[in-house]
Amino acid sequence: MPSAKLQVPRGTFDVLPEDGQRRRELTCSAGATLALAGYGVLETPVFEDTELFARGVGESTDIVRKEMFTFEDKGGRSLTLRPEGTAGVCRAYVEHGMHKLPQPVKVWYSGPFFRHETPQAGRYRQFTQIGAEALGSDDPALDAELILLLREILAPADTRLRLSSLGNSETRGAYGEELRSYIRGHESKVSEEVRARIEQNPLRAFDSDHPGTREVMAGAPRLIDRLDPEDAEHFADVRALLDEVGCEYELDPALVRGLDYYTRTVFEFESPSLGAQSGVGGGGRYDGLVGQLGGPPTPGVGWAAGVERILLASPEIENEADLRRIYVVVPAPEKRAEAFRLTQTLRARGVAAEMETAGRSVKGQMKQADRVGATAAVIVGDELEVRNMLSGEQKVVKGIEDILTPV
Ligand code: AMP
């Protein structure tokens, strides 16, 4: 029986070299931006104890209820492929006693994340996030700094920024009650899903696409009008700092994020060009999370952005060849060793160099030199010749020094 064709699992994809280069460049430039602001690299495992996400992300969230890839290891432990990065960062902060370091502790990460969602354009089961977190200070300057860093990283994409504040758990609790009774008062008009979750998480009703629910929620009381004085002041300060540097945002009191741990500031960058999956990156403050995971009470703020969506929302920029790239042409088999040595020498001198390895004719090799974007071809014949791939000019040279001098 012929075996079934092997393919990537549903919702996953291979990154081929052309796309791989763009992804690498994005991560490198994000890392450079974050390093300038004092963020260090923190790497955590791609799987953690399931309990971390249940406690950290929240039992009532979609992520924990239906989207986690959970499995049992051979020792009977329940493990989960990480669906997001903040819980792991907070675990590491507690585990390594980072509260004893000078605060805030500022870190960033990038890597694969996993959610069992229905795949569609811009939504995958394995995706890549770049994230940044600042723990140990509740200064609104950190909220503003992180928003500006994300804005800079997303600059090539066409995005708009939505901003709000969720206050603290007490005001949120009281507001939740107010909202519950408001939704109950309009129960016949809202969707079944919203009705089923009035008790668990009434805030999620703001997320609904259901027309009746949307109409009801347009008249709902707003948390942003119920903030206690300290939270209101904190939010005013975040906004003042963003205004200070001319960062534009839309105040969106209905902004709800899919994770339970947020307090105070929340934000999201959206790209209209992405259609249904328009969120490119977002985050907020989570002042209770470290405490909830068993650490000392520690404020925190951070964000995560999806690499795939950033690239989908960014125009492709043709990279100008800013590099000398040499293709080493092997006109005859007996020249192969010499060509090999020359290629190694060029690379050792910092020049991008590739040698023919597919047995093409000299003409075919010249075509290949063009395809790989070589700026020059070096023909290792009885004499050493250099051809400028842009002008077509070709001349005999004496040795490597002449090759390194631009033709
Ligand atoms: P979240 O952790 O849900 O706030 O997501 C942060 C960012 O990660 C989003 O703005 C997306 O860019 C990206 N993201 C989240 N889920 C997915 C997914 N299933 N597929 C692709 N990107 C995702």
Task: Give the C-alpha separation, 365 to 25, whole Å.
Answer: 29
More confident: 150 or 1: 150
Q: Ligand 1: residues whose CB is within 6 Å?
A: 84, 115, 117, 122-124, 127, 129, 257-258, 279-282, 304-306, 308-309
User: What count of residues does the chain have?
Assistant: 407
Atom of ligand 1 nearest to the CA of 307: 12
Asked if residue 208 has pLDDT above 90, the reply is: no
**pLDDT tens across 292-317, in order?**
999 999 999 999 999 999 999 998 76
Listed residue (116, 20, 14, 9) closest to 311, CA to CA: 20
Asked if residue 342 has pLDDT above 60, the reply is: yes
Which pLDDT band, with edges at 50, 70 and 90, does 206 fall under? confident
Distances (CA, A) of 80 to 50, 64, 66, 110: 5, 10, 12, 18
DSSP helix/strand/coil, 243: helix
Asked if residue 407 has pLDDT above 60, the reply is: no
pLDDT score for 1 = 58
Lowest mean pLDDT among 71-80, 142-151, 218-227: 218-227
Edge-to-edge strand list for the sheet holding 300-306: 40-41, 105-114, 126-135, 300-306, 279-285, 263-270, 160-165, 250-251
Report the nearest-CA residue for atom 18 of ligand 1: 123
Task: Give the C-alpha separation, 241 to 236, whole Å.
Answer: 9
Q: How far is the CA of 298 from the centre of ligand 1 (A)?
A: 25
- The residues, ordered by sequence, that sit 6+ positions from 2 with a Cβ below 8 Å of its Cβ are none
Atom of ligand 1 nearest to the CA of 269: 10
Residue carrying structure tokens 């920029």: 317
Task: Give the C-alpha separation, 297 to 103, whole Å.
Answer: 13
**pLDDT tens across 351-384, in order?**
999 999 999 999 999 999 999 999 999 999 999 9
Please report, to the nearest 10 degrees, the dihedral formed by the alpha carbons of residues 199, 200, 202, 206 taken in order: -150
Report the nearest-CA residue for atom 11 of ligand 1: 306
Backbone φ and ψ of 51, nearest 5°:
-60, -30
Average pLDDT over residues 33-62: 94
Atom of ligand 1 nearest to the CA of 281: 10
Q: How far is the CA of 267 from the centre of ligand 1 (A)?
A: 14
Q: What angle is formed at CA 146 by the lines to CA 231 and CA 168, rounded to 5 degrees?
A: 20
Helix (H) / strand (E) containing 239: helix 229-244
Instruction: Give the mutation target among 68, 109, 129 for probing the ligand 1 site: most ligand atoms within 8 A of CB.
Output: 129
Average pLDDT over residues 156-182: 91
* β-pairing verdict for 325-329 and 352-355: parallel
Asked if residue 121 has pLDDT above 80, the reply is: yes
* β-pairing verdict for 325-329 and 376-380: parallel
pLDDT score for 2 = 65
Report the nearest-CA residue for atom 21 of ligand 1: 123
Pair 90, 290: CB distance under 8 Å: yes
**pLDDT tens across 230-281, in order?**
999 999 999 999 999 999 999 998 887 667 788 999 999 999 988 888 899 9
Q: How far is the CA of 328 from the centre of ligand 1 (A)?
A: 44
pLDDT score for 315 = 86
Q: How far is the CA of 7 from the centre of ligand 1 (A)?
A: 24
Report the nearest-CA residue for atom 2 of ligand 1: 84
Atom of ligand 1 nearest to the CA of 306: 12
Q: How far is the CA of 253 from the centre of ligand 1 (A)?
A: 21
Task: Give the C-alpha separation, 278 to 121, whole Å.
Answer: 10
Report the nearest-CA residue for atom 15 of ligand 1: 306
* β-pairing verdict for 325-329 and 40-41: unpaired
The average confidence (pLDDT) of the chain is: 93
Backbone φ and ψ of 319, nearest 5°:
-75, 125
Average pLDDT over residues 48-74: 92
Distances (CA, A) of 164 to 58, 61, 253, 263: 20, 20, 6, 10
The secondary structure of 253-305 as a DSSP string is TT---S-TT-EEEEEEEE-GGGTTS-EEEEEEE-TTHHHHTTS----EEEEEE
Listed residue (55, 50, 63, 54) closest to 204, CA to CA: 63
Instruction: Give the 3-state secondary structure of 12-32.
Output: CCCCCHHHHHHHHHHHHHHHH
Atom of ligand 1 nearest to the CA of 279: 10
Report the nearest-CA residue for atom 16 of ligand 1: 123
Token pair recorded at residue 266: 């929340």
Instruction: Give the mutation target among 81, 130, 204, 309 for probing the ligand 1 site: most ligand atoms within 8 A of CB.
Output: 309
Distances (CA, A) of 334 to 330, 331, 342, 381, 382: 9, 9, 14, 10, 11
pLDDT score for 258 = 63
**pLDDT tens across 83-112, in order?**
999 999 999 999 999 999 999 999 999 999
Q: How far is the CA of 68 from the centre of ligand 1 (A)?
A: 14
Identify residue 99 by its one-letter amino acid code. H
pLDDT score for 404 = 80
Token pair recorded at residue 158: 């066409």
